[in-house]
Amino acid sequence: MAFTLPDLPYDYDALEVSIDARTMEIHHTKHHQAYITNVNNAIAGTELEDKTVEELCAIAGTLPPAVRNNGGGHFNHAFFWNIMTGDSMGAPTGALADDINATFGSLDALKEKFNAAGATRFGSGWAWLSVGADGKLQVSSTPNQDNPLMDCAEVKGSPILGLDVWEHAYYLRYQNLRPAYMQAWWDVVNWNKVSELYAAAK
């Protein structure tokens, strides 16, 4: 079954404190839609067209570049929209907060490590917080539209937080200042959703 563009769980201007409405609209309706259109075209009429996007990620290393890149782009963006919110949440609580403190020392220390992963990703890509096979939290980055679910990922795991550091995600407001965008982005993280993903991954 063909993939379709998911609706956002908020209005385009809901994240204005960190990401402007015009960027959100272009990112969702143009960039994400293009990944969906391209992956649908790439898998049409093949044995891959009945697989979920997660199943495609799991075998990404064996797939043609058009499927890996665009399938990854679809998964990453659908994931990205859902771990943001216009309702300020401040900080995680409960088991996730405890694990962050135990693993990184503090939420600020996690942010520093995560931001460094994104800021030092050469070219385009993503920064991730994921739960590894050993159940431990880990920070990583991936190039292009790769993600930790992929069999070819350098650091594999179940993603619970991800940030798009492609220039199209931030250029209208932040121009070339990727670190400024990354710092501002923490104000729109949906920690409730991240906690749900964390619990499921554990």
pLDDT tier at 141, thresholds 50, 70, 90 = very high
CATH number at residue 33: 1.10.287.990
- pLDDT on residue 90: 83
CATH number at residue 166: 3.55.40.20
- pLDDT on residue 88: 77
Task: Report whether 159 contacts 79 (CB < 8 A).
Answer: yes
DSSP 50: T
Are both 122 and 196 inside the same structural domain? yes
Binding site, residues?
A: 27, 77, 164, 168
| Span 144-176, pLDDT tens digits | 999 999 999 999 999 999 999 999 999 999 999
Sign of the dihedral through C-alpha 157, 52, 2, 11? negative
| Span 51-109, pLDDT tens digits | 999 999 999 999 999 999 999 999 999 999 999 999 978 899 999 999 999 999 999 99
- pLDDT on residue 164: 98
Are both 100 and 182 inside the same structural domain? yes
- Does the residue 4 lie in any domain? no
- pLDDT on residue 157: 98
**What is the C-alpha radius of gyration for the chain, rounded to an integer number of angstroms?**
16
**Residue 198 belongs to what H/E stretch?**
helix 191-201
**How many domains does the chain fold into?**
2
pLDDT tier at 188, thresholds 50, 70, 90 = very high
Q: Could you list the residue range(s) of the whole structural domain that residue 71 is in? A: 21-83
CA-based nearest residue to 166, from 116, 105, 125, 122 = 125
From start to end of the chain, where are the E strands?
125-131, 137-143, 158-164
Are both 121 and 183 inside the same structural domain? yes
Say which amino acid occupies 11: D
Q: Which of the listed residues 37, 58, 83 is the one where a domain comes to its end?
A: 83
Are both 77 and 115 inside the same structural domain? no
- Does the residue 88 lie in any domain? no
Task: Report whether 157 contacts 130 (CB < 8 A).
Answer: yes
| Span 98-138, pLDDT tens digits | 999 999 999 999 999 999 999 999 999 999 999 999 999 99
Q: Are strands 125-131 and 158-164 parallel, antiparallel or unpaired?
A: antiparallel
Are both 109 and 49 inside the same structural domain? no
d(CA 41, CA 58): 20
- pLDDT on residue 132: 98
- Does the residue 28 lie in any domain? yes
Are both 111 and 178 inside the same structural domain? yes
- Does the residue 78 lie in any domain? yes
- Does the residue 12 lie in any domain? no
| Span 11-58, pLDDT tens digits | 999 999 999 999 999 999 999 999 999 999 999 999 999 999 999 999
- Does the residue 13 lie in any domain? no
Binding site for Mn(2+), residues?
A: 27, 77, 164, 168
d(CA 91, CA 187): 9
Count Cβ atoms within 10 A of the Cβ of residue 126 and give its class: 0-12 exposed, 13-18 middle, 19 or more buried: buried
Are both 99 and 192 inside the same structural domain? yes
Are both 167 and 123 inside the same structural domain? yes
